Structure 1
Amino acid sequence: MEENRLKREISLFGAFSTVMGTVIGAGVFFKTASVVSFAQSSSLTIFAWILGGFLTLCAGLTSAELATAIPKTGGAVKYIEYTYGKLPGFLLGWAQSVIYFPANIAALSIIFSTQFLHLFHLSDSFLLPIAVVTGLSVTVVNLLGTRLASRLQSFTLIIKMIPIALIVIVGLFMPAVSEVSLFPVRAGGNSGFIQALSGSLLATMFAYDGWLGVGAVAGEMKRPEKDLPKAIFLGLSFITVVYVLINFVFLKTLPIEQISGNLNAASEAAGQIFGSVGGKIVTIGILISVYGALNGYTMTGIRVPYALALEGMIPFSKQFQKLSNRFVVPYVAGLFQFCIAAIMMSLGTFDLLTDMLVFVMWLFSILIFAAVFILRKKEPELLRPYKVPFYPVVPIIAIIGGLFILITTLLTQTILASIGIGITLLGVPVYYINKKHKE
């Protein structure tokens, strides 16, 4: 069995590092603009980041039970397939292949281009060309072999913590330009509290994205039953504290009107804290962090259509199975992913793309949370090296949080949600047509 081939070598610190490296990406720098634009107050902005971290913690602890019970290559796709059947599992793989990973690549390429233009004071007319070149360059790196892509990932993992640490440590001791009040928690502007909370909470979810892959290392941990919940709890709690602190610094450094909707807010805050030259150095660090996140999603995303193709579950499976002779990389899957991402770059903005991918992934996340209840009842004898703590409270909180995100997004961003659902459901005829073709 597959589980027997996994070497149990990962320690608590290794799992903790995996949590940190998986979740911390570009969202911490750029989603503040969207959170503030919905919240319009410092109190609700901070509250949204805390609530987002709490829901993510519950989600991570819940999904990890399935990761240890079903430690198969494919992760979440296999959890859903095991619980609900082939079609739902395929739909997640389909959504990841045509929405989640391409939208991540497109959004991060756009944000890289935005920061590049801001750093070098270039015209906005260069936004799309630079974004496309950025996405293409990362794809080329990955097509040149996993070793090169992995080295890039390791390098950027170290670099991306530097601007976060500098902004938090120095920014906390700088005199405040704007007053930040945490209580009472209320929405600013003319928006109702629920509408403001739902929009700001959805925006934070992109920064916390990555928790679903946290349990993927469960089968390789020395003591998953003890170390996995510790790694998830400590890792996601630490990330939440970091996110709250860095947003506190942004809010005290810049007027709230300057942050709202401003994707350059992190760079401008760095300029205020460190001066012109220091701010540019921090911005370069942020660019490297974004590039590393882009590389991570590209490297992982290429392998999803390839994995589906190996099982003959998508059209043109033989083409998607092809590996380059020299670098042994699924190059057709890589080019397919980049083409979809390039189309998305030309059609969507950073916030539009990230909100859609978050919405679609939470559709499947709720199925994963529910799967814990279903399998506990259907297969009580299933070996579970780790069980979610405080069951059933933690999974219920995760489900309620997910439903809140989905329902409020449907009500407030109906077109965006409908597009996400529509593209996901397109996978149904694809599945059956391909299945009939194979027979």
Structure 2
Amino acid sequence: MEKQPPREEMKRALGLGSALSIVVGTIIGSGIFFKQGSVLDSAGNSTMAILAWIVGGILTLTAGLTIAEIGAQMPYTGGLYVYIEELYGRVWGFLAGWMQVIVYGPAIIASVAGFMSILMTNFFGLSNEWRVPLAVVTILAIGFMNMFENKVGAAFAVVTTIGKLVPIAAIIIFGLFWGHNNALGQTVGEIHSASGNFGVAVLATLFGYDGWILIANLGGEIKHPQKVLPQAIIIGITAVLVIYTLITVAVLRFLPASQIHTLGENTTAYLATAAFGQIGGKLLSAGIIISMMGTINGKMLTFPRIVYAMAKRRDLPFSRYLAYLTPKAKAPVVATLFIIVLATILMLFFNPDRLSDLCVFTVYCFYTLAFFGIFILRKRNGNHRPFSTPLYPWIPIIAIAGGIFVLISEVINDPAGVILFIGVVIVGLPVLYLVKKLDQRRVEKALNIKNNNLKK
């Protein structure tokens, strides 16, 4: 008998505005501000760098359109974890959830916080030794905020999303209208050297676009999810695609490619000061820091929901505690603490750039499986669906091709990192076996006690 989704206990309090703010706020974080140099180096010239951001956005949009149809049919807390389990069974579903709560979620939070701390140390004039402490304090503060009712985190998402539009608008307007460089046609010779290729450049942009699917983890807390979830995903990704393209053109208009290559991760901080002076640069940097805090907030709001969903199915050790919700706010406080601890550990052992690339690879393994799922659901459910992906089957096919491209590119460019992260995911199998074994013993013990009582 097929396992039914768990009974929802969280509050359906999030409307389209909150959902859209979470999508945009979760996507626009560190990637667009810190990946300009690496995308340019890999692409080889400025024209191909701009194209890489556009292609990355189109691939993300096809993925979003595909998942929108799937998510509208499974509007439950847990998102990708629930989708994979319903499509491929218990084991694959568990691995999808395990990947997100042990690898992807904590790593992506640690990565964004690590990038943010670079700006924070520059902003406060501190040495590099302060980067990790500042990142850890930020994670703790935002995690604590998300231990209250989901409206608190959603409200913070709305505020930071509006706040991040200020530095974005400033960069776009200043670069486009006051920049003196031609954004197109700056060649490899001006960059001095190029690493990777166009495929690697697109892969780097996908970190900047990643996070759109996290709204699906809140499926059990969204009002009218069959309608709102697809709208939030599609409108959000489209808006980000336009914003990212404009930012890239603006940066290339204001700074020559050779300087972006030299500055690397410090490109945005330098641009802010050069364009607006010391005070204006500080204000712009503050806006970008707030933007990144909003991204961390979106991830801290969504990933504990996966932990909660898995714990409700008794798929994790200590599920009884991880599934705990506060009586009034219905907030998964223990699950949130769990994510905070893992993110802090990863922060101490990995640099943010490496984490960002490996995060994309790990999650795309399961994204690609989910993309195939649209064909399974069409066969299983026929025409009974709240939302239909346009241009079917071409949109899902492009999404699948993009997913395969990401996986192959990362295997070629970082085989050691791929093996490490796959190994961590596979470790989940014996964990599942042990958890189920202990759960079975607990049930048998309870039945024996009940039978003994009946005999008495």
- Taking structure 2 as the reference length, what is the TM-score of the superposition? 0.86
CA contact (8 A) 2:172 2:247 kept: yes
Corresponding position of 1:375: 377
More displaced, 289-298 or 24-33?
Answer: 24-33
* Alignment counterpart, residue 53 of structure 1, candidates 45, 52, 57: 57
SS of 1:74's equivalent in the other structure is: coil
1:303 counterpart SS class: helix
Q: Separation in 1 of the partners of 2:171 and 2:439?
A: 55
Question: In the alignment, is the contact (CA less than 8 A) between 1:27 and 1:206 conserved in 2?
Answer: yes
Instruction: Indicate yes or no: 2:242 matched with 1:238.
Output: no
CA distance in 1, matches of 2:430, 2:93: 14
Letter paired with 1:306 = Y
Please give the alpha-carbon distance, in whole angstroms, between the structure 2 residues aligned to 1:340 and 1:429. 20
Distance in 2 between the 1:268 and 1:275 partners? 10
Residues 380 and 186 (structure 1), Cα distance of their counterparts in 2 relative to 1, 3 Å cut: farther
| Superposed CA offset, 1:248-284 (max 9, x none) | 1112222323323622211211222222211111100
- The Cα offsets for residues 296-332 of structure 1, whole Å up to 9 and x where unpaired, read as 1112122221221121111111222334578654333
DSSP-derived class of the 2:178 partner: coil
Which residue of structure 1 aligns with residue 307 of structure 2? 305
Corresponding residue to 2:78 among 74, 77, 101 = 74
Unaligned runs of 5+ in 1: none
Q: Which amino acid aligns with 2:173?
A: I
Question: Which protein has the larger Cα radius of gyration, Structure 1 or Structure 2?
Answer: 2
Structure 2 residue ranges without an equivalent (≥5): 441-456
- Counterpart residue type for residue 273 of structure 1: A
Once the two structures are TM-superposed, the CA of residue 17 in structure 1 deviates from its matched residue by 5.2
* Counterpart residue number, 2:346: 344
Instruction: Work out the CA distance in 2 between the residues paired with 1:74 and 1:186.
Output: 48
How many Å apart are 1:39 and its aligned residue?
2.3
Q: Which residue of 2 aligns with 1:265?
A: 267
In 1, distance between residues paired with 2:367 and 2:72? 17
Deviates more, 1:240-249 or 1:71-80: 71-80
Kindly indicate whether residue 199 of structure 2 is the aligned counterpart of residue 181 of structure 1.
no
Q: Distance in 2 between matches of 1:91 and 1:411?
A: 23
Match of 1:207 in 2: 208
Counterpart AA for 2:158: S
Partner of 2:89: 85
CA contact (8 A) 1:46 1:182 kept: no
1:44 Cα deviation from its structure 2 partner:
1.7
Given the alignment of the two structures, is residue 36 of structure 1 paired with residue 40 of structure 2, yes or no?
yes
Q: Match for residue 251 of structure 1? A: 252
CA shift digits 1:332-359 (9 cap, x unpaired): 3222212211111111112111111111
Q: How does 1:379-398 map to 2 (within 5 A)?
A: 379-381=380-382, 383-398=384-399
TM-score, with structure 1 as normaliser: 0.89
- Out of 15-24 and 204-213, give the one that drifted further: 15-24
Deviation string 1:408-427 (CA, Å, 9 cap, x unpaired) is 11011111211221111111
Shift of 1:295: 1.4
Q: CA deviation at 1:7?
A: 7.8
After superposition, residues 37-436 of structure 1 pair within 5 angstroms as 37-176=41-180, 178-181=181-184, 195-213=196-214, 220-221=223-224, 224=227, 232-260=233-261, 262-323=264-325, 329-377=331-379, 379-381=380-382, 383-436=384-437
Q: 1:70 to 1:169 in 2, by over 3 A?
A: same
How many residues align structurally? Answer: 431
Inter-partner Cα distance in structure 2 for 1:14 and 1:132: 26
Amino acid at match of 1:55: L
Q: How far did 1:184 drift?
A: 9.2
Q: Determine if contact 2:45/2:185 at 8 Å carries over to the other structure.
A: no
Which amino acid in 2 is paired with 1:385? P
For residues 224-259 of structure 1, what are the alpha-carbon distances to aligned partners after superposition, in whole Å with 9 as ceiling and x for unaligned?
3xx876765554333212101101111222232332
Q: CA deviation at 1:88?
A: 0.9
In structure 2, do the counterparts of structure 1 residues 9 and 167 end up closer, same or farther at CA, with 3 Å as the change threshold?
closer
Q: 1:187 to 1:298 in 2, by over 3 A?
A: farther
Task: Report % sequence identity.
Answer: 38
Query: Any conservation in 2 of the 1:52–1:201 contact (CA below 8 Å)?
Result: yes
In 2, distance between residues paired with 1:187 and 1:74?
A: 47
User: CA-to-partner distance for each residue in 1:60-114, whole Å, 9 max, x for gaps?
Assistant: 1111111122222222211111110011111111111111211122112212211
